[in-house]
Every structure is written in structure tokens, then in C-alpha cells.
Structure 1
């Protein structure tokens, strides 16, 4: 007999201009029935309708934005109500740096929904305060500050494409410290203690996916201990995260520019985690930015 907890229910919220529409389209691409601009007061009735619909709506996404919050601002309470009724929703929060949001709104010459008669930055700050609790309790936090549309779509599809939602999925994300820390990272690893291939002329224009660069990085003293140690750490902690209901884990690996060391380490770490039976993939935030 089908239970409400069997419904694959994803609730998408986040800041205006953060990329919710892109997330919605990506969910549709991997088989979700997506309802956009849904008022929070309709979360429970919509979930019940999806449950009654059976297989056609077995994977349902609901997208909320600031206009829907005119009906209610208690997203956390609505999600709690769903869980008390037997549903197991996953909340995705889409975020971005305020300065990036300003540029996005200015590029399309739009005002912020909460701006009123104030400045654009006032609307962004008001919304951030309004959403603070929802952000804190989200199951998945996606920072789109450094992601283009295609990268965001790929991230969502990687997270939600597989039908089996029970196993924790690990994203090993390379990045460059000079571009800032990923705000959605659960672990941050620093690979800058390794010699930088940038200073090796024949490796400078290559990246960590290329075998010569990978061999150079992984062959340095301490590299094996670094990768092996963190692989064992993650293998040991993943079961605990799964018991606590966490489904997505982001391990960020940084070097100076996110091109050589962090990329090579991320690929190797993801490979070792897969070899240990974990669901893991490497993603490279800043590769190609230089």
C-alpha cells in the first residue's frame, strides 16, 4: 500500500533572483511534476492532491516565491504540518550573494518584489530576513552566486535525477579561494599546502582533470595522506548523516584559483568515495574562470 512518505516531494524556495525558475525547469527535466508560484497555504492540499493522483505525480515539486508569501510567511510551520501528516518533503533553498542579486536585477531593469519605495538593496535585505528561518532549516542549500544557468541546471539534475532518494549523495566541489568560499559547503578542505602546478610551465595551461596535472598533484608528498584521510573520514561519517536524515553532503576542496590542485584532488576523492560504495561525484565551480 502506498504511503504519503513514498511521495517524492520537493519544495523549492529562496531569494528572488537566485534561480528558482531554473531549478523548477531542471526538476521538470528529470521527471518531476512542478507547480510554480504556489502559496504556502496550499502546500498541504497540493501534497494531498499529488498523493491521490498516484504514479503521474509521484515526483512533485512545489516552487514558492515572495509573491506567494503574501498569503503566509510560515514556511517552516507548513513543512512541519506536512511531516506530521506523513509526508517527507525535501526543502531546497536557492541563495546568492547580495551584490550578485543587485547586478542581476539591474541587468534586467527590474525592481525587487519587496523594494517598495526604497532602494533595491533594501528589498534584498528585507527578503533575506523574512527567509532566514527557512534557509536555516532547508535540506539542500544551493548557492548560485558563481553558477550560470547551465551549471545550476546540472547541479539540480545531479541531485535529483536518481530515483533512489535513500542514499546520501556527496558532491565534491572544487573551488578557488580567491573567488570566495562556497556557502553551501558542509566540509571545506584546503589543498594549498601542495605545490602549485601553475608554476610549472608545461602544466600552467592545463587543469586538474588532465592526467599530467593530476599525476603531478597526487604525486606530491602529503597528497596521498590528504586524500586518503578525508576519504576515511567521510566513509565513517556518512552513515551517521544518513541516520540523521541528511541526503546531500557538499565537500568543498579549495586551492588558489580552482584550476589545478583542487580539481585533481576533487576528482580523486570522488573516485575513492565511489569505490567505497558511496554516491559521489565531482563538480568544479571555478574551472575556466581564469
Structure 2
């Protein structure tokens, strides 16, 4: 008897999101990582494509499909198609690229192109229509990346960080330091506030240094509650990371903040990363969002 069930085609990534948020840049970055990329595929063609990759066996281990509102009425079927694929396959994920309205308007104006849904209205009208249409897709996405502050090179680097081979890791954890005065990271899954610790900024000898310098590290870790917090928070995150792996959530962001994102948050992010890098199946990356700001 022949087994007619489709072979495992490896990872499948659906790339979608707002027009102007960087889908083409993400697709190019994935292609550079040896993903097989298909652009502007109607959602209804996803299953035939995956059947084809199954027939190809290991020839197409990682497939990325860019799906967006250029498909107009066909695009409406994406949530149902994605749900059906997730029920049938283990490795289907959705990456949703987003950006703030004002950034999207500036990007469309820079390239002098209309928004695909603007019709007789303005660019902003098109953006609002697209947001409404994409709401259910965004809510069910595995990963949301806000590209408002990225140029194309930074976005390509971020995509490479997310989707480059990570050995046997089942989950990639990004620990990101940031400054509250510059706003919360929009893609954070969890946020920790380090403003309960004294600020090294008020120590004249430490002000010009950063959390990557040993004197600042020693100062922060010597404060009451610093090491206790690290130990307790790392312990609390272990079952969370293990649960993410069971639920096939492949990436998460823990944001660690202080006032300016230069001293306390940098130290604590690095220390937290050292503790969580010991968790089985988890690859840990560190990002300091606001370290270079004045």
C-alpha cells in the first residue's frame, strides 16, 4: 500500500501586513537566507503550493509566501485558509508587518504612489480601510514587527535575526533594553520596569558611561533588589518560554526599560539574557534600542 499523505515540507511562513510596512524588504531578506519566496499569492493557492512543496520533499525546506491586499477580494479568505493550514500542519507561521499611519503616509508620498485601497480618497483613507480589513489577520499573527523606526537595512537585519538558522532552538527570545521616555516597544510581549533602581545618570562618574561598561554594571547590581529581581524574573519566565515552545510560538520579545535606555535597562537586559540562555530549546538575542540616543 502507498502512503499518499503529503511529506513534511518544513517551515512555511506567511508574510503579510500593511502596504508600505516593508513586505518586499522582508521577502528579499528571507530570499537571502535561502527561503523559497513566492510573492503576491492568493490565499486560496496556499494549499496547492504546500502540496507541491510536500511532493518536492526536502528540496524546499523553508517557504515564505507574501500575501497582501493586492489580491483584493481573494485576500478576504486568508484567515480561514491560515486556520485550516494550522490545523493540518505544524510549521505554518504568520509574520505581520506594521507601521504607524504617519510613517506609512510619508513612505507613500516619498515614492509618489497611491495606496492600493485609497480609490478616490486620500492615502490615509486607504490606510484606514486596509487596517480594518487586516484586523483579524493581525490578531491571529504569530509575530508582529513594527517597522516605523526602521530603514530598509535595519529591517533586513531584523528579519535575518528572526529567521536565520538557530541550530536546534525551538524558540528565539529577544531581550530588548529601551527608554520609557522614547515610548514602549510596540512588539514587546512582556515589559519589565527597572526604574525601581537608583539611576546611575545622577552619579557624575557614571553619567557618560553605559550599561555595557563594568563600573555601571557593578553599580546597578549592587543596588538593593537588583539581583533578587533578576533571579525571580528569570525563574518566572522559564515556564513561559517552555509554554511558548509547546504552543509553537517561535519568537517573543521581553522589553526591559529604564528612563533613557542607557544604564539600568542595558545592565539588566544583559544579565537576564545570561540567565535565560540556559533554558533548553531557547536561543537568546539582545537588542539595545535606545543605547545610542542622546
Is TM-score (shorter-chain normalized) higher than 0.5?
A: yes
1:285 counterpart residue number = 289
With over 3 angstroms needed to count, the CA separation of the structure-2 counterparts of 1:6 and 1:214, relative to structure 1, is farther
- Paired residue for 2:140, among 137, 142, 166? 137
1:76-127 C-alpha deviation (Å, 9 max, x unpaired): 1111232344363111111112222222222333321111121221111111
1:156 counterpart residue number = 159
* Contact 1:36–1:64 (8 Å) recurs in 2: yes
Confirm or deny that 1:79 pairs with 2:82. yes
Of stretches 156-165 and 274-283 in structure 1, the one that deviates more from structure 2 is 156-165
Question: Aligned partners of 1:83 and 1:216: how far apart in 2?
Answer: 48
Question: Aligned partners of 1:228 and 1:148: how far apart in 2?
Answer: 36
Question: Aligned partners of 2:114 and 2:219: how far apart in 1?
Answer: 50
Shift of 1:183: 2.1
SS in 2 for 1:112: coil
Q: TM-score, normalising length from structure 1?
A: 0.91
Q: Which structure has the larger Rg over C-alpha atoms?
A: 2
Of stretches 9-18 and 39-48 in structure 1, the one that deviates more from structure 2 is 39-48
Q: TM-score, normalising length from structure 2?
A: 0.90
Of stretches 252-261 and 158-167 in structure 1, the one that deviates more from structure 2 is 158-167
Ranges in structure 2 where 5+ consecutive residues have no aligned partner: none
* Contact 1:166–1:247 (8 Å) recurs in 2: no
Greater than 4 Å deviation, 4+ residue runs: 1-6, 163-166
2:244 counterpart residue number = 241
- Paired residue for 1:20, among 19, 23, 28? 23
Question: Aligned partners of 1:61 and 1:139: how far apart in 2?
Answer: 14
With over 3 angstroms needed to count, the CA separation of the structure-2 counterparts of 1:288 and 1:109, relative to structure 1, is farther
Shift of 1:246: 1.7
Question: Aligned partners of 1:73 and 1:30: how far apart in 2?
Answer: 30
Question: Aligned partners of 1:6 and 1:41: how far apart in 2?
Answer: 18
2:39 counterpart residue number = 36
